[in-house]
Structure formats: C-alpha cells, structure tokens
Amino acid sequence: MKVAKGLLYTKDHEWVRVEGNKAYIGISDFAQEAMGDIVYVELPEIDEEFEQEDTLCAIESVKAANDIFLPLTGKVVEVNEALEEEPEAVNEDPYKNWIACVEMADESQLKDLMNAVAYEEFLAEAEEE
Amino acid sequence: MENVKRTPLYELHEELGGKIVDFAGWALPIQYTGISQEHHAVRKQAGLFDVSHMGEVLVTGKEALAFAQYLVTNDVSTLSDTQILYGMMCNESGGVVDDLLVYRLAQERVLLVINASNVDKDFAWISEKAKAFDIEVENQSDQTAQLAIQGPLGEEILQTLTEVDLKKIAFFHCQEGVTIKGRECLVSRTGYTGEDGFEIYCKPEEATDLARLILEAGKEKGLIPCGLGCRDTLRFEACLPLYGNEFDDSITPLEAGFSFFVKLDTEDDFIGKAALNKQKEEGLTRRLVGFEMAKGISRHGYPVMDGDREIGFVTTGYKSPTLGKSIGFAIVEMAYTEMGSEFEIKVRKKQLPARVVSKRFYRKNYKK
C-alpha cells in the first residue's frame, strides 16, 4: 500500500496537501483499493462551505457510494473537474488526482491529522485487526 | 472476520488475490482484479465463480414433485426428468420466503437450490411444510460445493475437461454423473449472469482441483476468476432479481414484476396462491420498474420521490458496466410505472431526475 510522504491523513483515509491557507483533499491508495473500480466522482460546488467532519462529496465505485469527509472547516475554492470525465484516474494515481481544494477557516485543525509515518502505523494496526 | 464460514475454495481465493468480504456469513471474494474487468470477461469470454455458499435441499419420496408444486409459485408439473425451473417460495400472505431453482432429478428426487443467506430460514420452512407429505428432506448444503462457469465460451472451455457432450445438456436442464477429469459432478446449464453457462455441483474436497482445472483450461480463452461484485452487476443488467433487493418477505412476486414465474391459473394449489390471486384481482398498488438517470448513481434503498412525496424505493442501482449508463430498479406507486414516467431519486442530499425504461437493460445471451 503506497503512502505518499509530505501529506497529512485522516482515519477515514483522506489525504490533505497544505499550500498556504489552502488544503487539497484526495483519498489514499488504501481507500481507492478498498473501493475498487471508481465510476463517478460527485464533486462539491465552488464556494460551498463545510464544517470539520462534514461530508464533502461522494465517490461511487461499481459496488457502492462512498462518502468523502472533509477534515477541515472551510470553503471550497477549487474542484478537480477532470474527474468528471475520468473518475478512474483516482484509481490510477490517488495522490496526484486530488478531488477538491478548500480555504481553511482554522489551520489549528491540521493537528488532528496524521503524518505519513503515523498513517502507515495506523494502516498496519488496522491490518492486524 | 470471525464467525464467517469458508467455502472449500477459500485458500484458492486468497492465492488468486481475491478481495475477501463477509457475504451472508460467508468469506467470499467480492473481486479479484476489478468488478468491471470481471464483468466484461463474463459478457465476452467466460468467468469462474465460487457459489458454494448456495444452499441445496434434496427432497425424496413418492410425493417429492407434489410437494415442490405446493412449495413454489411456478408450475413444477410441466417438468420432465433432468429439467429445471425457476420460481419463488411464498408465505401465506404472498411475500417471498426465497427464490430458488427446482431440479427434477427424477420422479421421486427433487433438488432445491436456495440462497445462502436464507438456508436456515428456508430449511426450517421447507421442513415444516414437508410434514404433510410423504417425503424426506435433507439439507445437503454442507456436503455440496458449487462452481459456476459463465460466459459465451463457457461450453467450449468446460468441454475440454469432460467426455460428456455438453451440447446435449439443454438450457435449464441438468445431468447427473458428469465426469470432469475423473470427478463426478451434477452439471446444469443455468446461471445468474444472462450468459450461457453451467453450474457444477461437486464434492467439497474436489472443488479446488476442479476450479484449478477450469481456470487452466480457460486461461487462453480469456476466462478469469470472478467475484460476487460482478455477479451482482451481471444479474442486474440481465433483469434477474436478487432476494433482499427486488423481493423479500414483504414484497410479492407480482409487485416485483416476476408474475411470469407465478402460475395462478393452474389447478394445483401453492402456498400464497390465494393471497396472490387476491392481490391480482384487487390490482397492484406498486410495482417494480427499471429506470435510467442522466446524472448520479442510485443504490439499494435510496428513496424515490415526486417532489416532497416519497413514492417508492430503489431495489438495485448501478452504473451499468455494459451500457455505461446509470440504471436501476425501483418499486414505485402504480401511477409512476408507465414507460417514460418521470420521478426523482434522492441521492444523498440531492434529488436527481430519473425516467422509467424497460427493465431488460441487457439482452440475455442464452443458448437455447
């Protein structure tokens, strides 16, 4: 299972890449693998505002709809529209193909996230269970 | 996964990289390489499924056929030896206890093939109803493994492993004592994918070897091992119902739109017949339809809406791998069942438009 360095992770297997006061959100390799063939990405709308832990959007695999949670309170400023045409890109490279970018309202929330090392440990523990 | 049963093929699934999930209390692969790829393999070449979790109940005795006729909605009396029939077992109020295949192996020997999730419930039901008949019923589920080879090249592949001329096993017929590389099996030309194919019933201890032989024999023809994920997308496209989705104890076969398998005009009685007759006379208040959506994907259980009013629910929804469209089945009020009717599906926070289309999303490709 690939875990990209330099990103932050949630227990729900989203990743966050911080650029200034913006946070790019995607799903981890573990998440795309677990979902299987992704057939549709339901993107949030620009300017939509979310609280920490809100459902940001959904990713549909062949089998099921999977909610994507936003780990940080903020406002959507960008969405990766390319995924509307090519949702399978998330399977191919989940770290390159981000889903949405939010302007963070409270950067102190970043401390709630795991770094790559902690996430790897988290995955290893989950594996043992 | 604790308290989950394993089929005889469990080790093979792991070896082949199957993604194992808990399915109705069984540890089975949802997929190996991917649902879409496996789905297309079955439509174009062939796929091998482990369906050992399915239940088998053998009914023997003088009144075996009479009992089957009383138990299921379809007309068992039309069967000849080695012929198979699809039907439902209903409760007295017309709800579906399970859907099943009835194999007339011989005059006094009938095999019922039932859903894994319902084996205990079904066996209790069958045993209770059997008391009034001169028969023996035996739950053979644990002594029976089952493989399904499905797809247009299924016959060609399986034929390389047996002396029996598979062409002589007609659609919805079976043959006992078919020797596949020395292993004796019951083979039927049935399936749950909309493609031509065979179900192979064998001894649990021989199942893994048989699966390996089939995988090897079909490798160059594009046969791959398939999981339960594509089994569901395949059966759905072919308008084959799934128990717990299209019908259950509270949904009658008439409401589910499978009245073809309910023979109300025969003289013989079956459990639930009176209730179903009454429902037919009074007229249905809801029925299963197929629908298509331009945007979004529906899933089992999503509400069907007309504005603020809930008018039904989705029983199965997918983005169809074959058609590339978002399609589904829903049970809706009768006013919305006409072809072209419009309603909305509640997909998470949004209500997305849907339109009623034919349920026959995919034209079945059986060899008859």
Mutate to test the interface with B, among A33, A35, A37 (most CBs of B within 10 A): A37
Q: Which residues of chain A have pLDDT under 70?
A: 129
Q: Say what the ipTM of the complex is.
A: 0.77
Q: Give the B window 19-58 contacts with A, CB below 8 Å.
A: 19, 30-31, 34-37, 39
Nearest to B336, CA basis, from B351, B319, B314: B314
> Mean pLDDT across the stretch B149-157?
98
- pLDDT of B103 > 90? The answer is yes
User: In the prediction, which pLDDT does A129 show?
Assistant: 61
- The string of pLDDT tens digits covering residues B211-233 is 999 999 999 999 999 999 999 99
- pLDDT of B367 > 90? The answer is no
Contact: B35, A63; criterion CB under 8 Å: yes
Contact: B30, A65; criterion CB under 8 Å: no
**List of chain A residues whose C-beta atoms are within 8 Å of the C-beta of residue B321:** 62
Q: Which of A38-42, B145-149, B202-206 is predicted least confidently?
A: A38-42
User: In the prediction, which pLDDT does B127 show?
Assistant: 98
3-state secondary structure B320-354: CCCCCCEEEEEEEEHHHCCCCCEEEEEECCEEEEE
Measured in residues, chain B has a length of 368
User: In the prediction, which pLDDT does A126 show?
Assistant: 81
**Angle, helix B228-237 to helix B35-44, in steps of 10 degrees:** 50
Q: Give the B window 197-236 contacts with A, CB below 8 Å.
A: 229, 232-233
Q: Please enumerate in sequence order all residues whose Cβ is within 8 A of that of B252, keeping only pairs 6 or more positions apart, or say none.
A: B90, B94, B95, B96, B272, B275, B276, B279
What is the C-alpha separation between B102 and B95, in angstroms, rounded? 19
**Radius of gyration of chain B from Cα atoms?**
20
